[in-house]
Amino acid sequence: MTAPVREFMRHEYDHCLNKRFTAVANLSYCSKMIFRDDGFDGIIIFTSLLLQMGGYSVKKTMQLFASFVLLMLGLGKADAAYTLNLTQGVTKISNELYDLHMLILWICVAIGIAVFGTMFYSIYHHRKSKGHQAAQFHENTTVEIVWTIIPTLILIGMAIPATKAVIDLDDIEDTEMSIKVTGWQWKWEYEYLDTGIHFFSSLDEESNQARQIGSGIDPKSVPNYLLNVDKPLVIPTKTKIRFLFTAADVIHSWWVPALGWKKDTNPGFINEAWTYVEEAGTYRGQCAELCGRDHGFMPIVVIAKEPQEYARWVEEQKALATAAANAAEQEWSKTDLIEKGEALYVNNCASCHMADGAGIDGTFPALTGSAIVTGDMNGQVELMLNGKDMMPAFGTMFNPVEFAAVATYIRNGLGNNVGDSIQPSEIKDLQASLAD
Amino acid sequence: MNEDLKQKNTRLIKKLMFVVLGMFGFGYALVPIYDVFCDITGLNGKTAEEAVQEGVYQVDVSRELTLEFVTSLNKKAPLKFSSEVKKMKLHPGKYYTVNFYAENLTDKKMLARAIPSVTPGLAAEFLKKTECFCFSEQEFKPLERKVMPVRFVIDPKIPERFKTVTLAYTFFDNTETSVKN
Amino acid sequence: MSANVAAHDDHHDHGPEKGIVRWIVTTNHKDIGTLYLAFALVMFFVGGTMALIIRSELFEPGMQFVDPQFFNSMTTMHALVMVFGAVMPAFVGLANWQIPMMIGAPDMALPRMNNMSFWMLVAGVLLLASTLFMEGGAPAGGWTLYPPLVLQTGDALPFAIFSVHLLGISSIMGAINVIATIFNMRAPGMTLMKMPLFVWTWLITAFLLIAIMPVFAGAVTMLLTDRFFDTSFFDAAGGGDPVLYQHIFWFFGHPEVYVMILPTFGVASTIIPVFARKPLFGYASMVYATAAIAFLSFIVWAHHMFTVGMPVAGELYFMYATMLIAVPTGVKIFNWTATMWKGAMTFETPMLFSIAFVVLFTMGGFTGLMMAVAPVDFQYHDTYFIVAHFHYTLVPASIFILMAAGYFWLPKWTGNMYNERIGKLHFWLSAISVNILFFPQHFLGLAGMPRRIPDYAVQFADWNMISSIGAFIYGFSQLLFVYIVIDTIRGGTGEKVTDEVWEDAKKHSLEWTLPSPPPYHSFTTPPEKIPTEHF
């Protein structure tokens, strides 16, 4: 191998390793090398990557088998809070569905015992090695009619409670309040139609950091790993609530097992479902319809509060909204903006543009050194306000303070050093000037 | 014998290819069939895409329904979009007008289309609109703010079980695709 | 004179071509069958490798190996490769080998179309695999290719769609060939109701393919024009509806899953009677049940979409229709049990795989019945419960039966006996590990783990780890099968098998009346006597 190739390899190798086996980047990068650039070097790099990945896998598997042995010995079981069965949930419907589930499960178990019992009796007794002579019958109309009719009757028996449950699920009238849920890649937007409260809810920062590839953070050390959000949906107990579902980009599905159902959110269309939660508590769920790269990272947290407490929460939210409006009038220091912006960037931007701003080749552009970021401030702000291609319009998602913070952070973090900053009030003016 | 087999095979292939082509066509035929199916079953709550003639209905003051208005934006639509009211009580058979507001947040011309959707889906056919911005594509001048009235009536034939109906609009920015056409 | 028959005649004169050319230009049903089976086996390992990447990432919580986008590509490609590259071609391979021999014909009816359909399959799968190396990665929107998500695919989209077209055309040509062979090439005396069930199930499968593949081709063509030619079939912005795609897809998709299971039923109905030394119980009801299942598969599609927002009437209809499928499926399971009842059973490897199929497929059927109940499906839908369900109906069902078929017919095809001890080892390793692999997934789904996620909450950790361990054991034990296939082709145990291989197999089906291995052209003169054991 020549010295330049070795140098080149080392560089590219580091590049791949920094991304820690982000296979899309590796594969597309290496394929580019193999098919477009210098084929031989590409193959060397590709092979060495595979060897690296293999070595890592072997090491990991050894560790995992060791932990499995511990598990078998009952030593690793300290945190085993697993469940085997469907959640019973906290609504009348979810309990009805649980009962229905158990009914069908037991019917299946009973049929299973009968069929497999017969089969294994036959396997044990009707063996050639035991000298059993084969009978030669090959049909019996009576038996065949019986085993067509009995299953049909069982099915009818199952269909009756199932029909009732379908009708109960559909009983959406006489609701007391409505919440609109919009699915985004990859967060949820909640809008309380009656009080005007409106916010976005995305994966909490702690989970988000831990779930980055090679983060070095043990998910077990994160409370409610991947099932926690920055801002949960709060609902009152003992209130019939109507949910309206739609999506802003692709299809998602809103699912909280404790409520007993999930519902798809279709872009351009509206769906509805309802719930009536008896008990106060925190109920967690996830997006259930594949919606792209971070489908696994848009959890749902519903906090059900007693009606009085809920009313207090509503007041708080209104006060917060006023405070946010006031904050937008204040002068912010550049360091404060950058600090606030970094946290927002991690939660809202890093899943596409990556935590280090490097983007993903061919899919999501890099922000580090990007011409738009290092260019005129207004150009960047306008792109952020309006969105482009897969990027949503953040004008509706951030308040002016958040907006200014993220814009400033991107220009002064992620390896960029433009040096300028923008004030929330300027963002407001810009939005207003665009709106007038 | 072989000649005979060849003919039989050819005839069979022809028939089967006919089925294949038919099924390919059937796939496309599912598009209009689906629309009809949606109309009948109320699937997806599609409302009529054209204005209905203003008919005369008997106003049923004994009944009161709640109509909710929901406004959404597709993520690529740089607009501000809201309705005059979020919720209203109304009597079947009576005509109402509700204003919707939309602002173009960009300094470029924009062509946007609002897609209506009603839930419960089966109520869609009883919501009759004589005027709606959703019947056609809306053209926004740079930074333009529009007031767009929707005039509608709930057909008194709407079954008793419907008490709350939601009318949702989602705005999509079609500037790119429309310009190309 | 027929071009097809002329091709036969060439071979009569020269026998197979020599070397590699034989495999490229072959029009012989056995050669093409071998090509299909070998290709399917390779793809089984390609798709299996993808599954192991998935299971490695899911071994423990946290992201260890791959980017989430690549993970999604893996779930998508694993499904597409397994369905279109492994299971379907494997059954086409079996059909090529077995149908002419079972109905007393010299070859398939349309040998050159046969060759073309195989190479189109190869082209389609290679094109699909090439998308892994394109800008933006392979399709990552799930094998169902739902819009709008699938329209976010990078450069790969048109290639993936074109590959689906190729695979579709290949399947349709294969299906036409099967139908033409069964309709026009049966030996005198081989009436439809005397055909072995494998032939019957393939006939019905072929009709399913002809009906559904064009619909799928249409659906993906609409995706293509939506993305590149400004149509809006599925785009709400232009008056379309993304849910419409789901309807069209599942109109194809539900019969498609039966395309993979009906021939499975056929092989099981062929193997079990031989080792029970009894005629198949209820031959006629087996045929009718297969036809009934095929018919029902066309009218239940929306049970894949209960949560999409359907009116009550729609939900009830699709729930009732789906539950109905349990009746003919039950009939089949009862018939297999009755076939074993009072037989004189022996448990060679093919029989072991077949019995495991009946038991484990029934478990997949039970979970299918549970999910048919629409209201509870609001909980099960899109969780690991469904993943467990369809893997139970595909892996220990279709794949097990394909293995069984391999053990059952390899001695006939090669003239050599396979190593029974390694075969049994393969069976027990597979049967145990497949349950370690998939059974815990029921728990995961019920406990609330959605499918298609690259990382999960810590309460799902234990069962995921166990499932992944099962996956590795299962995956690597399949290498035993490769060893056995190669070993058997090269002489196996050294024991030369008889014409009928298995005791009294001649009474059941025609292929056992031919020498082992059978001649290049199966029945150049029609068989004298049609076996009527099952009738």
A314 within domain boundaries: yes
The reported pLDDT for the residue numbered A47 is: 60
Residues A313 and A183 in one domain: yes
Q: How far is CA A327 from CA A318, A377, A404, B50, C298, in A?
A: 14, 21, 12, 46, 60
The answer to whether residue A134 sits within a structural domain is no
Q: How confident is residue A78, by pLDDT bands cut at 50, 70 and 90?
A: very low
CATH number of A289's domain? 2.60.40.420
Please indicate, yes or no, if residue A10 is contained in any of the structural domains: yes
Helix (H) or strand (E) holding C71: helix C68-80
Which CA distances in Å does B134 have to A244, C193, C234, C243? Answer: 20, 60, 18, 20
Interface of chain B toward chain C, CB-CB under 8 angstroms: 2-3, 5-6, 8-9, 12-13, 16-17, 19-24, 26-28, 30-31, 34, 38, 41-44, 46, 49, 74, 113, 115, 119-122, 170, 172-174, 177, 180-181
Q: Residue A49: what pLDDT?
A: 56
Determine contact: C311 vs chain B, CB below 8 A.
yes
Plot region of C492 (φ>0 → left; ψ -120 to 50 → alpha; else → beta): left
Helix (H, G, I), strand (E, B) or coil at C520: coil
- Is C451 labeled as catalytic in the residue annotation? yes
| A243 plus A339 within the same structural domain | no
| Test mutation, B44, B66, B76, B104, chain A, max A CBs within 10 A | B76
R_g of chain B, CA atoms, integer Å: 23
The pLDDT tens digits for A100-135 are: 999 999 999 999 999 999 999 999 999 988 888 888
| pLDDT confidence of residue A17 | 45
- Which two tokens mark A389? 């291609």
Show me where the domains of chain C are located: 3-513
Instruction: Return d(Cα C327, Cα C60) in angstroms, integer.
Output: 40
Do A96 and A205 lie in one domain? The reply is: no
- 3-class secondary-structure state, position A85: coil
- Structure-token pair, residue B100: 């919707």
State ipTM. 0.89
On whether residue A429 sits in a domain, the answer given is yes
Task: Write out the residue range of the structural domain in which residue A249 sits.
Answer: 177-324
Query: Which residue is closest to A386 within chain B, CA to CA?
Result: B78
The predicted-structure confidence for C372-384, as pLDDT tens digits, reads as follows 999 999 999 999 9
Spell out the residues 6+ positions from residue C450 whose beta carbon is closer than 8 angstroms to its own: A255, A286, A287, A288, A296, C382, C383, C384
Pairing of strands A198-201, A187-192: antiparallel
Rounded Cα distance, B98 and B55, in Å: 18
Q: Distance between CA A39 and CA C68 in Å, rounded?
A: 28
Quick one: A66 and A97 in the same domain?
A: no
Q: Is the pLDDT of residue C209 over 70?
A: yes
Burial pattern C46-83, b for ≥16 Cβ within 10 A else e, equals bbbebbbbbbbbbbbbbbbbbbbbbbbbbbbbbbbbbb
> Could you tell me if A241 and A105 lie in one domain?
no
A257/A200 same-domain check: yes
Q: B35 and chain A: CB distance < 8 Å anywhere?
A: no
Query: Could you say which of A62, A78, A94 is where a domain stops?
Result: A78
Q: Which of A46-55, A312-321, C498-507 has the lowest mean pLDDT?
A: A46-55
pLDDT at A245 over 60: yes
Give tens-digit pLDDT for B154-178.
888 888 888 888 999 998 888 776 5
Q: What is the pLDDT of residues A336-378, one digit of tens each?
A: 888 888 878 887 888 778 878 888 776 778 888 887 887 777 7
Chain C, 363 to 392: residues with Cβ < 8 Å from chain B are none
pLDDT by residue (tens digit) across A52-61? 555 655 665 5
Q: What is the average pLDDT across C79-98? A: 95
How many angstroms separate the CA atoms of B166 and C333, rounded? Answer: 48
CATH of C3-513, one of 1.10.8.420, 3.30.200.20, 3.40.920.10, 1.20.210.10: 1.20.210.10
C346 catalytically annotated: no
Task: Calculate the alpha carbon distances from C280 to A136, C66, C267, C273, C358 in Å.
Answer: 9, 49, 12, 5, 15
Q: CB distance C369–A108 less than 8 Å?
A: yes
Q: Is residue A431 part of a domain?
A: yes
Tell whether A264 and A193 lie within a shared domain: yes
The average pLDDT across C417-421 equals 93
DSSP string, A359-375: -BTTTB---TT-HHHHS
Lowest mean pLDDT among A70-84, A135-149, B2-16, C22-36: A70-84
Within 8 A by CB and 6+ apart from A352, the residues are A293, A359, A360, A363, A364, A390, A391
Read off φ and ψ for residue A177, nearest 5 degrees. -150, 160
Task: Say yes or no to pLDDT of B38 above 80.
Answer: no
pLDDT, position A66: 62
Sign of the Cα torsion A309, A315, A319, A320 reads positive
Supply the Cα-derived Rg of chain C in whole angstroms. Answer: 23
Specify whether A154 is located in the same domain as A210.
no
Mean pLDDT in residue range C353-361 = 96
pLDDT of res. A436: 46
- Chain B contact for A95 (CB, 8 A cutoff): no
Q: Band the pLDDT of A31: cuts 50, 70, 90.
A: low
pLDDT at C521: 87
DSSP 8-state symbol, B118 = E
- Reported in sequence order, the residue ranges of C351-399 that DSSP labels E, i.e. its strands, are none
Report CA-CA distances (Å) from A333 to A336, A401, A414, A422, A423: 5, 12, 19, 10, 9
Distance (Å, rounded) from C-alpha C122 to C-alpha C39? 8
Q: Are A187 and A315 members of one domain? A: yes
Residue C181: the pLDDT is 94
Which DSSP category does A415 fall into? T
CA atoms within 13 A on the CB side of C358: 30
Our answer to whether residue C332 is catalytic in this structure is: yes
The mean predicted confidence, pLDDT, of chain C is 91
Name which of C373, C439, C441, C452 to mutate to probe chain A: the one with the most chain A Cβ atoms within 10 A of its Cβ: C373
Quote the pTM value. Answer: 0.85
The whole-angstrom separation of Cα A212 and Cα A223 is 16
pLDDT at A29 (0 to 100): 53
* A135 belongs to a structural domain: no
Q: Which residue of B has its CA nearest to C5?
A: B2
Q: Which two tokens stand for residue C300?
A: 């239940």
Burial class from Cβ neighbours inside 10 Å (0-12, 13-18, 19+) for residue A244 reads buried
Give the range among A160-164, C9-13, C240-244 with minimum mean pLDDT.
C9-13
Q: Do A106 and A206 lie in a common domain?
A: no
Alpha-carbon distance A183 to A253, whole Å? 8
> Bigger pLDDT: A255 or C9?
A255
Q: HEC string of C74-102?
A: HHHHHHHHHHHHHHHHHHHHHHHHHHHHH
Q: Check whether C492 has a pLDDT greater than 90.
A: no
Residue A129 lies in a domain: no
For residue A68, is pLDDT > 60? no
CA–CA dist A90, A279 (Å, integer): 7
Q: What tokens does A146 get?
A: 């019986």
Q: Which of C184, C215, C243 sits opposite B5 (nearest CB)?
A: C184
Burial class (CB in 10 A: 0-12, 13-18, 19+), C419: middle
Q: Which residues of C touch A152 (CB under 8 A)?
A: 327
Section C164-179 average pLDDT: 95
Angstrom distance (rounded) from CA A178 to CA A37: 57
Smallest CA–CA separation between B160 and chain A, in Å?
11
What is the SS3 assignment for A66?
A: helix
Do A102 and A61 fall into the same domain?
Answer: no
Q: How many domains does chain A have?
A: 4
Q: What is the mean pLDDT of residues A287-293?
A: 93
pLDDT value for A67? 58
Which CATH number characterizes residue A377's domain?
1.10.760.10
Task: Please indicate whether residue A272 or residue B121 has the higher confidence score (pLDDT).
Answer: A272
- Looking at residue A46, its pLDDT comes to 55
Are residues A271 and A233 both part of a single domain?
A: yes
**How far does C255 lie from chain A, in Å, by closest CA?**
22
3-class DSSP state of B116: strand
Tell which residue, C494, C439, C448, has the closest CA to residue C466: C439
**β-bridge pairing A299-305 and A261-265:** unpaired
How close A244 gets to chain B, by Cα (Å)? 9
